[in-house]
């Protein structure tokens, strides 16, 4: 590595050159998973989908997968929907820009090595670590009307850890709510490596620049809260969805001053209207901008931003068997890596021969 990226012996002014050992040259390994619980929405895009596409395009070695076992943690009673959700998710990811040649795109349940490694790592994962993960308590609370207090839900971040370490994922693009999961992953890895030897790699979360995207009710945008705007929504649906958003309750009519910092529409402008956000903020505060116009402006931006997505998604839906074929090719590429990791773990834990 050249110190400071400067070529030794270069003239005093020293042209800055790219460091010889760049992370991209080493092909840092990126991994993230998507639960097949319904169509991708703008919260996914701002969370990890946008970053997943960007990292692929920047030349990282990317592994992306459909986390269908994770779907069972909350939707075990809705497996009839699973096949359509899996297919829809794969097509959504392709339409969003995931290229199955450059990235390995596969389905978790087709990699049974994950299940064996989850069993083994479960033996060294203290219950207390799992119980204190905030998303566990949140899910129990948000889904109080459904019976989700199962072992699987508690083990969610352990299974997620296995997804990552089985391919030695180093960088994991996630939304902010997943940071505690990654922290747990790192603790499990450290515990494993201390007990049995340095086999597993500690992953790092990669947060998107956008904070959590709120949905129409002001809570986190999420399919289960029915407050989303789907990436494939047609323009009329996008307009209707945006109109249904709550705004500052004290701003009742145009002329009333608004508080952008508490308004979900403003949060979306921050992500999707970069050129207008300063003007929106100023004119909302003075009251000059009314919520109706403010929403209409956001809808225009969303419609334009996802027009390409909509077209590609419709096109991809016309090729029968596409999602299955992509997943079949992806599993072949990830299987040897997962097998090798599992063999190293078995050996380290003395399950040889
Ligand atoms: N928990 C992630 C989510 O809800 C999905 C997921 C499953 C995941 N396994 C993963 C993300 C491994 C990153 C790495 O978005």
Flag whether 353 is in a domain. Answer: no
Ligand 1 centroid – CA 324 distance (Å): 21
Contact 272, 283 (CB under 8 A): no
Closest residue by Cα to atom 9, ligand 1, is 160
User: Are 44 and 74 in the same domain?
Assistant: yes
> What pLDDT does 266 receive?
97
User: Are 189 and 243 in the same domain?
Assistant: no
Q: Which numbered atom of ligand 1 lies nearest the CA of 35?
A: 5
Q: Does residue 13 carry a pLDDT above 50?
A: no
User: Are 30 and 135 in the same domain?
Assistant: yes
Flag whether 51 is in a domain. Answer: yes
From 35, 111, 170, 338, the mutation candidate for ligand 1 (largest count of ligand atoms within 8 A of CB) is 35
What CATH number is associated with residue 280?
A: 1.10.240.10
Flag whether 216 is in a domain. Answer: no
User: Are 337 and 247 in the same domain?
Assistant: no
In the predicted model, what is the mean pLDDT of residues 177-193? Answer: 96
Instruction: State pTM to two decimals.
Output: 0.89
Flag whether 315 is in a domain. Answer: no
Q: Which numbered atom of ligand 1 lies nearest the CA of 181?
A: 1
Q: Which numbered atom of ligand 1 lies nearest the CA of 48?
A: 15
Q: Is the CB of 223 under 6 A from ligand 1?
A: no
> What pLDDT does 156 receive?
97
User: Are 40 and 160 in the same domain?
Assistant: yes
User: Are 88 and 187 in the same domain?
Assistant: yes
User: Are 293 and 330 in the same domain?
Assistant: no
User: Are 82 and 162 in the same domain?
Assistant: yes
Q: Is the CB of 164 under 6 A from ligand 1?
A: yes
- Assign residue 168 a region (left: φ > 0; alpha: ψ between -120 and 50; beta: otherwise): left
Q: Does residue 17 carry a pLDDT above 70?
A: no
Among 80-84, 212-216, 344-348, the minimum mean pLDDT is found in 212-216
Flag whether 34 is in a domain. Answer: yes
Give helix 82-96 / helix 68-75 axis angle, nearest 10°: 130
Flag whether 169 is in a domain. Answer: yes
> What pLDDT does 89 receive?
98
Among 88-102, 157-171, 211-225, 335-349, the minimum mean pLDDT is found in 211-225
> What pLDDT does 277 receive?
96
In the predicted model, what is the mean pLDDT of residues 245-274? Answer: 95
Among 3-12, 149-158, 303-312, 326-335, the minimum mean pLDDT is found in 3-12
> What pLDDT does 22 receive?
43
Ligand 1 centroid – CA 161 distance (Å): 9
In the predicted model, what is the mean pLDDT of residues 264-276? Answer: 95
> What pLDDT does 9 receive?
30
Flag whether 240 is in a domain. Answer: yes
Q: Does residue 296 carry a pLDDT above 90?
A: yes
Q: Answer with the residue of higher pLDDT: 185 or 175.
A: 185
Q: Does residue 265 carry a pLDDT above 70?
A: yes
Contact 285, 250 (CB under 8 A): no
- pLDDT, averaged across the chain: 91
Q: Which numbered atom of ligand 1 lies nearest the CA of 161?
A: 12
User: Are 132 and 194 in the same domain?
Assistant: yes
User: Are 202 and 104 in the same domain?
Assistant: yes
Q: Residue 239: which domain range? A: 233-305
> 90-126: per-residue pLDDT in tens?
999 999 999 999 999 999 999 999 999 999 999 999 9
What CATH number is associated with residue 103?
A: 3.40.50.620
Flag whether 182 is in a domain. Answer: yes
Q: Is the CB of 163 under 6 A from ligand 1?
A: yes
Q: Does residue 341 carry a pLDDT above 70?
A: yes
Closest residue by Cα to atom 15, ligand 1, is 34
User: Are 239 and 133 in the same domain?
Assistant: no
In the predicted model, what is the mean pLDDT of residues 320-330? Answer: 98
pLDDT category of residue 243 using cuts at 50, 70 and 90? very high
User: Are 162 and 258 in the same domain?
Assistant: no
**Count of structural domains, the chain:** 2
Q: Is the CB of 174 under 6 A from ligand 1?
A: yes
């Amino acid at each position: 590595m050249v110190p400071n990226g400067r070529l030794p012996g270069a003239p005093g002014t020293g042209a800055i050159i790219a460091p010889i050992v760049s992370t991209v040259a080493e092909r840092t390994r990126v991994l993230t998973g998507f639960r097949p619980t319904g169509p991708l929405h703008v919260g996914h895009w701002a969370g990890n989908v946008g970053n997943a596409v960007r990292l692929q395009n920047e030349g990282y070695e990317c592994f992306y997968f459909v986390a269908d076992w994770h779907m069972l943690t909350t939707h075990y009673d809705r497996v009839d929907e699973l096949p359509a959700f899996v297919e829809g998710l794969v097509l959504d990811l392709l339409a969003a820009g995931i290229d199955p040649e450059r990235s390995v795109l596969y389905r978790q349940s087709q990699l049974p090595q994950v299940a064996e490694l989850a069993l083994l790592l479960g033996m060294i994962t203290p219950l207390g670590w799992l119980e204190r993960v905030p998303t566990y308590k949140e899910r129990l609370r948000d889904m109080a009307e459904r019976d989700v207090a199962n072992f699987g839900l508690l083990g969610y971040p352990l299974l997620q850890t296995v997804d990552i370490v089985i391919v030695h994922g180093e960088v994991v693009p996630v939304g902010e709510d997943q940071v505690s999961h990654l922290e747990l992953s790192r603790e499990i890895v450290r515990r494993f490596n201390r007990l049995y030897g340095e086999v597993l790699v500690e992953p790092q979360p990669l947060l998107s620049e956008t904070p959590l995207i709120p949905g129409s009710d002001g809570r986190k945008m999420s399919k289960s809260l029915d407050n989303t705007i789907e990436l494939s929504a047609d323009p009329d649906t996008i307009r209707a969805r945006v109109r249904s958003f709550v705004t500052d309750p004290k701003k009742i009519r145009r002329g009333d001053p608004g508080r952008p910092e508490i308004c979900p529409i403003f949060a979306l402008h921050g992500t999707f209207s970069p050129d207008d956000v300063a003007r929106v903020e100023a004119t909302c505060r003075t009251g000059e901008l009314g919520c109706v116009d403010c929403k209409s402006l956001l809808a225009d931006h969303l419609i334009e931003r996802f027009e390409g997505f909509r077209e590609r998604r419709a096109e991809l839906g016309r090729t029968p068997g596409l999602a299955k074929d992509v997943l079949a090719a992806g599993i072949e590429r990830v299987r040897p890596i997962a097998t090798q990791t599992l063999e190293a773990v078995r050996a380290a834990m003395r399950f040889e021969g």
